[in-house]
Structure 1
Amino acid sequence: MSENPSSTPLDRIALSKVEERISFLYAEKATINRDNNALTIHDYRGVAHVPAADLAVLLLGPGTRVTYAAMALLGDAGVSVVWVGEKGIRYYAHGRPLAKTSRNAMAQAAIVTNQRRRLFCARQMYAMRFPGEDVSRLSMAQLRGREGARMKRIYSEHSARTGVYWSRRSYNPADFDAGDPINRALTAANAALYGVAHAVIVSLGFNPALGIVHQGTDRAFVYDLADLYKAEITIPAAFDAVAGAQMDADRYVRHFVRDKVVEKRLLQRMVKDLLFLMEIDSEAENIEAELRLWSDLETVASGINWEEE
């Protein structure tokens, strides 16, 4: 075990490219330490060694303890660390993102601040929800109307499938208990999905506040991304939970969502969909970024006295 783990940082140039790494590794009820340039994950089953340079994002679940040496190694290897709930269905906090460049955040900002590109991106998002339909010429008002009709149909279909009574989507953010069982289950399920989306967004270096369809809150982009999967993940989970345990559905539904996140490989899909929507070919290839100064014509080198100019 290294006595001074931060004295000899890893060579970033030699690190694996992002697309060659394990995208997400989740650990819970374990102790994470360091053995040379590998992480050791110790739980009741024994000890597993994971090369830090081959890991993109480490999700720390409940009951996890991490040593200083392990965090130093994760930082040197450019690994994102996100503190999450069980199986990643809650987002609590994160360390530095895996992408050490600002490329993803700048690509996102360029889309959000350009009306034509933002509308195009919004149409792409809705197109992912309406397979086989042409939405390339629809306005935002038309897209919202079509989405509203689609959601109404989906709720009715799952109500008929499970026998759970459905009236309408109704909830009070300030009074969770005021809703009926299905609305409470939907709210709990969506909150879990927001946690997964938030973890993916920050790990890739995007800004969760810069939404495409949503805006005005620090999680606007989280709602954008999560909305792509509600019909597949949270709505069926909520109706199934209420059908199986109506009084405790809002508690059990998180387990339903957790299982679907794993079954559908949702983390990996979110990464792929995010890069597509933000018009990025692949995850950041350059782990080490060059710090430069902005200029109205072109960027210039930093760390230089420009007084003569």
Structure 2
Amino acid sequence: MDDLSPSDLKVILHSKRANMYYLEYCRVMQKDGRVLYLTESKKENLYYNIPIANTTVLLLGNGTSITQAAMRMLSQAGVLVGFCGGGGTPLHMATEVEWFTPQSEYRPTEYLQGWLSFWFDDGKRLEVAKQFQNARIDYLQSVWSKDRELKSHGFVFQDDMIQTALATFHQRTDKATQTAELLLTEAQLTKVLYKYAANNTGLKNFTRQHDSTTLANDFLNHGNYLAYGLAASCLWVLGIPHGFAVMHGKTRRGALVFDVADLIKDAVVLPWAFVCAKENASEQEFRQQVLQAFIDHQSMGFMFNTIKAIALDKPAEQGDAGQ
């Protein structure tokens, strides 16, 4: 194991890694050169392998512990680790919103330098915020137009209700002169999407409440935290600190994570939260559905391509991402 170079564990680009894990009531450890998690039962202890070279994020929920040796291997493989509450939410370390980020002095600097070239200019930062807003709609169109299962549940991008809301959204986004206007426009669109999803799934009395215990609200919270994990991993790989937000509060340390996660939340997390709530799915079934949708629609690659294009002031690449 001592002869294994960290680079040997990074043959799979982060944008192409397939796995994101949530674990609870287990012990994560290193054994025989692999990272495993151990579950204890009355009759026997069961070990399960974690394929770290193909993993982006590891969320550790209730009743978990992890060894130093396991953290060392996860760091070598570039896996982001976060402690969270039951079901993946809330994300916390003590009372702070925090990720354990793999430390490397060899992460790229070009994306951070490109990001800072516009970030301190209010006008340029506003234009980038508009790019974020347009990118999330482009992704929504891409996902809803291709996903047959979502279509079968009534999520049709060309629906009149969606198109009317988007026409207003684009008009107000183009005319916005400050970030507060963009946030208001975003909130109004999301409210329409909630209503549309609730009508499609028969949850017509739905109200978005982050502390609510209804299934749809629980699934929205859970799915959003999964999206935060992908966003944080993307930003870590590209070397852009989470504090350089373009939409959310500039004084919030993790605000850029929220900006990047918003690129995919409406397209993937929102519809599946309502569909799974309608079907009375379990938390695990919802998580599996959302993670599979992230893979099917290349959510991670989309995040990478969008952030790289903005940082380098180039058109977003189509298809494979380069990290």
TM-score by length of 1: 0.62
Q: Does 1:37 align with 2:33?
A: yes
Q: Which residue of 1 aligns with 2:314?
A: none
Counterpart Cα distance in 2 of 1:29 and 1:81: 16
Q: Does 1:164 align with 2:194?
A: no
SS of structure 1 residue aligned to 2:62: coil
Deviations 1:28-65 (A, max 9, x none): 33322223432233336832345655554433333333
Deviations 1:14-39 (A, max 9, x none): 44334187443424333222234322
Greater percentage in helix: 2
Equivalent residue for 1:225, pick from 260, 267, 273? 260
SS of structure 1 residue aligned to 2:29: strand
- Give 2:137's aligned amino acid: Y
Equivalent residue for 1:96, pick from 101, 106, 118? 101
Deviations 1:87-109 (A, max 9, x none): 64542242124775154544544
Q: Does 1:215 align with 2:254?
A: no
SS of structure 1 residue aligned to 2:71: helix
Q: Which residue of 2 aligns with 1:289?
A: none
**Correspondence 1:132-147 to 2 at 5 A:** 139=174, 141=176
Per the TM alignment, residue 271 of structure 1 is displaced from its structure 2 partner at its CA by 1.8
Task: Give the 3 Å change call, closer, same or farther, for CA 9–120 of structure 1 in structure 2.
Answer: same
Gaps (5+ residues) in structure 1? Answer: 3-7, 246-251, 285-309
**Correspondence 1:146-225 to 2 at 5 A:** 150-166=189-205, 176=211, 188-204=218-234, 205=236, 206-216=240-250, 217-225=252-260
Identity, % of aligned pairs? Answer: 18
Does the 8 A contact of 1:200 with 1:267 survive in 2? no
Does the 8 A contact of 1:214 with 1:221 survive in 2? yes
Does the 8 A contact of 2:38 with 2:48 survive in 1? yes
Task: Give the 3 Å change call, closer, same or farther, for CA 144–201 of structure 1 in structure 2.
Answer: closer
Equivalent residue for 2:13, pick from 4, 19, 23? 19
SS of structure 1 residue aligned to 2:258: helix
Q: Which residue of 1 aligns with 2:155?
A: none
- Give 2:6's aligned amino acid: R
Q: Which residue of 2 aligns with 1:127?
A: 138
Counterpart Cα distance in 2 of 1:98 and 1:87: 27
Q: Which moved more, 1:267-276 or 1:126-135?
A: 126-135
Counterpart Cα distance in 1 of 2:75 and 2:246: 31
Counterpart Cα distance in 1 of 2:296 and 2:115: 19
Per the TM alignment, residue 278 of structure 1 is displaced from its structure 2 partner at its CA by 0.7
Task: Give the 3 Å change call, closer, same or farther, for CA 186–210 of structure 1 in structure 2.
Answer: farther
Deviations 1:267-302 (A, max 9, x none): 984421211211267454xxxxxxxxxxxxxxxxxx
SS of structure 1 residue aligned to 2:13: helix
Per the TM alignment, residue 185 of structure 1 is displaced from its structure 2 partner at its CA by 5.9
Provide the aligned C-alpha RMSD in A.
4.4
Does the 8 A contact of 1:89 with 1:195 survive in 2? yes
Counterpart Cα distance in 2 of 1:158 and 1:148: 15
Counterpart Cα distance in 2 of 1:136 and 1:9: 58
Per the TM alignment, residue 258 of structure 1 is displaced from its structure 2 partner at its CA by 2.6
Gaps (5+ residues) in structure 2? Answer: 93-97, 143-157, 159-165, 310-316
Q: Could you say which structure has the larger radius of gyration?
A: 1
Deviations 1:171-227 (A, max 9, x none): 6x7xx57xxx8xx66654443233223222332314333333333333433333343
